Structure 1
Amino acid sequence: MSQPDTSLRARKRRAVKGDLTLAAIDLFITNGYDETTVEKIAAAVGMSERTFFRYFATKDDVLEQLSAYWRDLAARTFAERPADESDWVSIRRCFDDFVESTRRDDFALPLLRLIYATPQLYGRHMHNVRRWRQMFEGVLRTRHPQAPDLAIRVKAASAMACMECAREAWVATDGERPIADLIDAAMSEVWPLV
């Protein structure tokens, strides 16, 4: 895996993209996705609409960057898990950073609620769920190069189905139960987490 670019320019670009992402999320939650324009997102961080397009092609890409961040982090985490640890436990550990962010970031629950309620965002979200599954498939193939393709796909798809069911339950109960408990419960329905 390639090392992240740590040059000053790359760090500044990541910082600006981070600011735009947080501003967009706040506006999406406060005003609604359809009502939030690129112009409003750019203005919220003191830049022009034209400058926004140097960082993102569309306002949808703001949320795609967020999904890609979590997906890439999960891939690295999975690849670094002990080889003798069960795949299922390793996959569960890949969700830990996301779980921690739901405790830390006040926007996690309202953002998921918005995604589920907005057809355009939900369609893109489901596309990202597929990308997560493909990421898990890639790491599983590295761990088990002789495993049947169908077995790899089923395990990866099961992991993402569990994660998605847990997120949906979290939103449906308005965060009443910690998402970590919901993920554990969902995954334990498929394979034991031992």
Structure 2
Amino acid sequence: MTRIRLATRGSALALAQTNMAADALRAADPNIEVEVVEVSTQGDQDRITSLRVLGGQGIFVGAVREALLDSRADVAVHSLKDVPTTPAPGLTLGAMLERGDPRDVFVGRDGRRLAELPAGARVGTSASRRIALVRALRPDLEVAEIRGNVDTRIAKVNGGDYDGAILAAAGLDRLGRLG
């Protein structure tokens, strides 16, 4: 039996994606045994500081990359959006899972839609593209940075910190929270 150690972040979404990768490996070869190695990254440890201040993409992959380079893991599983465009020396992008739903989803408090929000309502997102999208569709809304995993972001909306948030449909789907 061949053992493969998959390094990943410890969030529910990262673990769901890692389980998808493990299932794909086992489907390709039933003699593969998969071990999941959870790694805490700078982005996971500091959930308050703005992503722009922390330094962008690498904050979610650095510690996972080190697990590979230190031989604590054989393969890393990431969301492609978190992977720097230039790989670290000695590492390569080896495979990708089938792409999930590429759309964005608005999650509104009390089931409200984006079009139903009053002027000045607060919408959370951290992605520059999503900030531009909200500002183009609803320039009367306040767009504020929101940090945390999917469940944390939804809790911030339901708790009243935000009137809504823009989230990735693929992530919601992989966590069974879409539909």
TM-score after normalising by structure 2: 0.28
Higher relative contact order (CA 8 A, sep 6+): 2
TM-score after normalising by structure 1: 0.27
